[in-house]
Amino acid sequence: MEVWFLRHGVTAHNQEGIWQGQRDVPLAPEGRAQARRLAARLERLGLTWTALYSSDLERALETAQIVAGRLGLAVRRDRRLREVCVGELSGLSRVQVQERYADYVARSREDPWSTRFPGGETLAELYDRIWSFLGGLDEGRHLVVSHGGAIRAAVLGVLEMKNAAPWRIRLENTSITRLHFPEGVGGGGFVHTVGDAAHLESGWDLEG
């Protein structure tokens, strides 16, 4: 089984450095352009896809719909693919979070996985729901449109590094992260690619 995780296109909150979490924010115009380039790149691969799944949050769903339109696939929504719920931090800038939630920031640096976002989830809870989703997939090659935190949780699970700092993994918007499970999720897996966003680089003629 192969799982190709696709991060959603960029949003205005991404561009402005504002925490989103599960706030339902649409793609920015640039994010739609990114999604079109991603879809064109995937089409040119000429691969057969078993299914296309997406988080039900608008920024992911819109990205998935652009990809689906290019590849002729249906989009299957799954709430487990949502970003981590950051609770009271949603809508705040990084500076505001540092100023208002200094205790949380300090605790999260010491223990990022079990420290709960104020009024939200822990990364351990995010990990559990992402791996619940993965465990239910059938054999095949799947496209999965999700979010930075969720994709990092999947990668660290494969690497058996659940307690590592997830934010050290950089994922550009619409980047591709490929995971391979030769014997299914229960049999362990391999990381092929993390954060591949070559389609966003200049010189790629993809929108024709």
Among the residues of the chain, which ranges form H helices? 12-16, 29-45, 58-71, 94-100, 102-110, 123-135, 148-158
**Measured distance CA(67)–CA(51) in Å, rounded:** 12
Contact 19, 92 (CB under 8 A): yes
Q: Which of these is catalytic: 2, 62, 83, 121? A: 83
Q: What does the alpha-carbon distance between residue 200 and residue 176 come to, in Å, rounded to a whole number? A: 11
Rounded Cα distance, 43 and 14, in Å: 26
On whether the CB atoms of residues 172 and 37 are closer than 8 A, the answer is no
Q: Is 160 annotated as catalytic? A: no
- In this structure, which amino acid lies at residue 202? S
Token digits of residue 205: 């003629």
Tokens of 203: 């010189």
Catalytic residue check, 201: no
Q: Which of 2, 8, 62, 199 is catalytic?
A: 8
Among residues 185, 194, 192, 196, which one has the least CA distance to residue 1? 185
Integer Cα distance of 183 and 189 in angstroms: 8
Tell me which residues are annotated as active site: 8, 83
